[in-house]
Amino acid sequence: MKEEIKISQERKKYLQKKKREKILIKVVQFSIIVGIIVLWEILARKGIIDSFIMSQPSRMVKTLFNLSSNNLLEHIKVTCLETLIGFLLGTFLGAVIAILLWWSRFLSKVAEPFLVILNSLPKVALRSCDYYLGRSRNASYYCYGIGHFFNSNNS
């Protein structure tokens, strides 16, 4: 037999007050988001902000409805897959290297100055040359960073 828990009237009022407060917080948060989006749309339509750089909500919604017609879904899928593979590969290699450095004191001492230098570099400088920033593959390109040394397509 289930025992019934008795709650005092004061406790019920307190819980109702907390529930109303949570609902009010969510409503205000939602209103702020809607207000920002409406303001953004108005400023873009009036030309106060450049809609080419900042886009505008109505154009984003239109694009979302046309995802399949312009291969955007395919690009999103490829980007997500590449991100996932990169994350998993980086995590796996990082864990293996960390275990090796933890396991071998000699290897840890040898690698320490190089790891300190790599850690102080801006992470953008470590990108590979395969990132063309929208340029075609046969165009000349510039690569800054150590990724240049590992590029086998270099000509």
Q: What is the pLDDT of residue 52?
A: 87
How sure is the predictor about 68, in pLDDT bands with cuts at 50, 70 and 90? confident
Domain count, the chain: 3
Q: Is 71 helix (H, G, I), strand (E, B) or coil?
A: coil
| pLDDT single digits (tens) 6-19 | 889 999 999 999 99
- Let me know whether 61 and 24 are in one domain: yes
pLDDT of 135 above 70: no
Q: What is the pLDDT of residue 65?
A: 83
Structural domain boundaries enclosing 41: 9-65
**CB-CB contact of 56 with 39 (8 Å):** no
How is residue 123 written in tokens? 């992470």
Burial of 127 (0-12, 13-18, 19+ CB in 10 A): middle
Residue 4 covered by a domain: no
- Let me know whether 111 and 127 are in one domain: no
CA distances from 147 to 96, 129, 143 (A): 21, 6, 8
CA distance 126 to 124: 5
Q: What is the pLDDT of residue 91?
A: 97
**CB-CB contact of 41 with 57 (8 Å):** yes
**CB-CB contact of 43 with 49 (8 Å):** yes
Residue 3 covered by a domain: no
| pLDDT single digits (tens) 72-90 | 788 889 999 999 999 999 9
How is residue 155 written in tokens? 């000509």
| pLDDT single digits (tens) 79-118 | 999 999 999 999 999 999 999 999 999 999 999 999 999 8
Residue 93 covered by a domain: yes
